[in-house]
Structure 1
């Protein structure tokens, strides 16, 4: 067994409430009510404990680079004074040890204005904004607590960040019933350079609506088909092509130049969550698995982050691309797929011992991307990467079944 590696970063929940009420949110609308027991804003005392634990973790594992992703709820609800104190304390502690600290923030964008953007820019904080596409799609899901759409306010926030020359990326939850080309053109028109689409947070206990309307089967891959159309549009774009994280990393993994990340690949998941009360948890996407599902009793006030390596859920999350179902272990594309995101495997009475709910979709998409690359790469690159043409049917046959 290889030596344990330290964390790459932490998702820090500096606010546990949100000014929006998005219908698909794993925090508030997927059955987990544990947020009600959390402080609305992280206290300075917890911040101090968090920074000290993190610095010691970096020292123990000889890490020279670390990332804080400020998250929520809606992190801007913590306020400018809180954010200023957090950044000053964190940078002072890390700079004293000559460690590089990167800080990002993921926001719904509604509260972003010139003053916020000046502060974030001055603090060298990268901004991620959640936008689900044009108003008709965005407002379908991303509403405020009065059930009003939030697209117009979110775009004002995006423009404020762009005007201040902030480094901005956009995160969008994909809707397989939307038109991928229209989505791509919309984000291009907004001038987005860094873009990613998330697979919706479903599992075997909470099936996607498209799978409820029609039985899930190898011949029905609405999510994979959506991604294929998006990939073809993006891949053919020879001009102002944005970086789409998921597609970029799939290509790098197929070429053997990247090990992946939380949702796909072979890499260990080396990020953890810290809640507003200091609670240390695995991926917050796992909140979609049940009320209080991610609570394992660890806290920055009493525990080192290395202790999280051995709790059942955090250990499973960390090793999710190495510990897969028997079906996944038979699969020809397991080294790229990695079983998909652990949150999408839950249910059927088997816990996480299932292929992803999006198994067939991933198979179809990944084989399509690999075969497309084969038509574009040199013979030398193909030989070095060990690539061969592989059909969707080939992969289905490799798992010796047509149902996962």
Structure 2
């Protein structure tokens, strides 16, 4: 029971991190110092592809911080992956809060110019930022690394974590213009799930009602300022796809637990990378069917398919598809961007929404 088309592997090349963010689903600096074994991991991926006759797949290097793994092991892993004909693309999500040595820059230049690089910006959670006037040392380091990669011809995606502090202190246009000024090609707004460190740091998450209003403001400011001509907004693009074509992707696909596999540095297996540390299926050295048929995996698949009964009465359910099942409800209020979807449905400005694709 696995998706044959567009299967995705998240590979945690390292379990720990050079940062210690309050919202992160990893253990940060206190994490297991283990790094992955390139050969064992690539062999498992090849086994999955062959056993289930996978048509195409994507791999994302993840963590922890993936660049804490030895470059030699990372190079070996990518070389082995590229020998698999069904490989579609290789990506990486890295915090870029480290010295970008010649060795690391060469690694990026050799492998990711075709596919792109993702990095995060988390305001108070990551950079200790109060406003754009007083930048911390780590933020300046991150900005310099971003500029260096863009100067080297890379396509970068900025993921912005929507913490309570952020939506209380920043206007959407500030963040979008900041990303544009730095040279990012794509921007993604991410909501916080109840996983990892966010479980014990619950105060960092905004109220769903306030989050909905902020995201709606982001939608309005994007259309008014025609930001889509200068940067690709992946969050709004996903919503526009849902509205125009009634096709549910990414956050609203409700098929993640069937279409992705997270492989930990110790060879542990799980689904959604956000809950990978808490909900494991088994290990790559077990018979291939054992982890895939584990009770933890089957329970996660069932949870993703079950909707809150309130969704059945919602007038935008055909657009929303109940959103990501990992996002917590607050009483009867979900974390979906309902105001955006309601406005799309009410105004039906297809031409405006097609600009967001």
Report the TM-score range of the alignment, normalised by the length of the smaller protein. 0.7 to 0.9
How far apart, CA to CA, are the structure 2 residues paired with 1:9 and 1:233? 33
How far apart, CA to CA, are the structure 2 residues paired with 1:365 and 1:28? 34
- C-alpha RMSD of the superposition: 3.3
Where does residue 117 of structure 1 map in the other structure?
105
Deviation at 1:129, TM superposition (A): 1.2
Aligned residues: 336
Match of 1:201 among 178, 188, 193: 193
Change (3 A) 1:317 1:355: farther
Match of 1:230 among 187, 196, 218: 218
Where does residue 310 of structure 1 map in the other structure?
293
How far apart, CA to CA, are the structure 1 residues paired with 2:49 and 2:179? 37
Question: What is the CA deviation profile of residues 166-214 of structure 1, one whole-angstrom value per residue up to 9, with x for unaligned ones?
Answer: 22211110232121121111111112111101012348976853889xx
Change (3 A) 1:267 1:294: closer
Change (3 A) 1:55 1:230: same
Q: Kindly name which structure, 1 or 2, has the bigger radius of gyration based on alpha carbons.
A: 1
Where does residue 285 of structure 1 map in the other structure?
274
Answering whether residue 329 of structure 2 is matched by residue 331 of structure 1, we say no
Where does residue 285 of structure 2 map in the other structure?
301
Change (3 A) 1:285 1:103: same
Deviates more, 1:53-62 or 1:196-205: 196-205
How far apart, CA to CA, are the structure 1 residues paired with 2:205 and 2:266? 37
Which sections of structure 2, spanning at least 5 residues, go unmatched? 131-135
Match of 2:55 among 27, 50, 64: 64
Where does residue 50 of structure 1 map in the other structure?
41
Change (3 A) 1:294 1:256: same
Please say if residues 7 and 260 of structure 2, whose CA atoms lie closer than 8 Å, have aligned partners that are also in contact. Answer: yes
Deviates more, 1:123-132 or 1:81-90: 123-132
How far apart, CA to CA, are the structure 2 residues paired with 1:237 and 1:303? 54
TM superposition score normalised by structure 1: 0.73
Change (3 A) 1:268 1:211: closer
How far apart, CA to CA, are the structure 1 residues paired with 2:203 and 2:33? 34
Change (3 A) 1:360 1:103: closer
Answering whether residue 78 of structure 2 is matched by residue 87 of structure 1, we say yes
Deviation at 1:358, TM superposition (A): 5.7
Please say if residues 114 and 164 of structure 1, whose CA atoms lie closer than 8 Å, have aligned partners that are also in contact. Answer: no
SS in 1 for 2:91: strand
How far apart, CA to CA, are the structure 2 residues paired with 1:285 and 1:61? 25
Where does residue 34 of structure 2 map in the other structure?
40
How far apart, CA to CA, are the structure 1 residues paired with 2:332 and 2:118? 27
Answering whether residue 103 of structure 2 is matched by residue 105 of structure 1, we say no
How far apart, CA to CA, are the structure 2 residues paired with 1:275 and 1:205? 21
Change (3 A) 1:271 1:4: closer
Answering whether residue 145 of structure 2 is matched by residue 157 of structure 1, we say yes
Deviation at 1:294, TM superposition (A): 1.2
Deviation at 1:149, TM superposition (A): 5.3
Where does residue 118 of structure 2 map in the other structure?
128
Match of 2:245 among 244, 251, 256: 256
How far apart, CA to CA, are the structure 2 residues paired with 1:211 and 1:83? 34
Please say if residues 22 and 141 of structure 1, whose CA atoms lie closer than 8 Å, have aligned partners that are also in contact. Answer: no
Please say if residues 283 and 291 of structure 2, whose CA atoms lie closer than 8 Å, have aligned partners that are also in contact. Answer: no
Change (3 A) 1:5 1:360: closer
Where does residue 265 of structure 2 map in the other structure?
276
Answering whether residue 342 of structure 2 is matched by residue 367 of structure 1, we say yes
Match of 1:247 among 199, 222, 236: 236
Deviation at 1:228, TM superposition (A): 0.8
How far apart, CA to CA, are the structure 2 residues paired with 1:78 and 1:154? 19
Which sections of structure 1, spanning at least 5 residues, go unmatched? 143-147, 346-353, 382-404
Where does residue 172 of structure 2 map in the other structure?
180
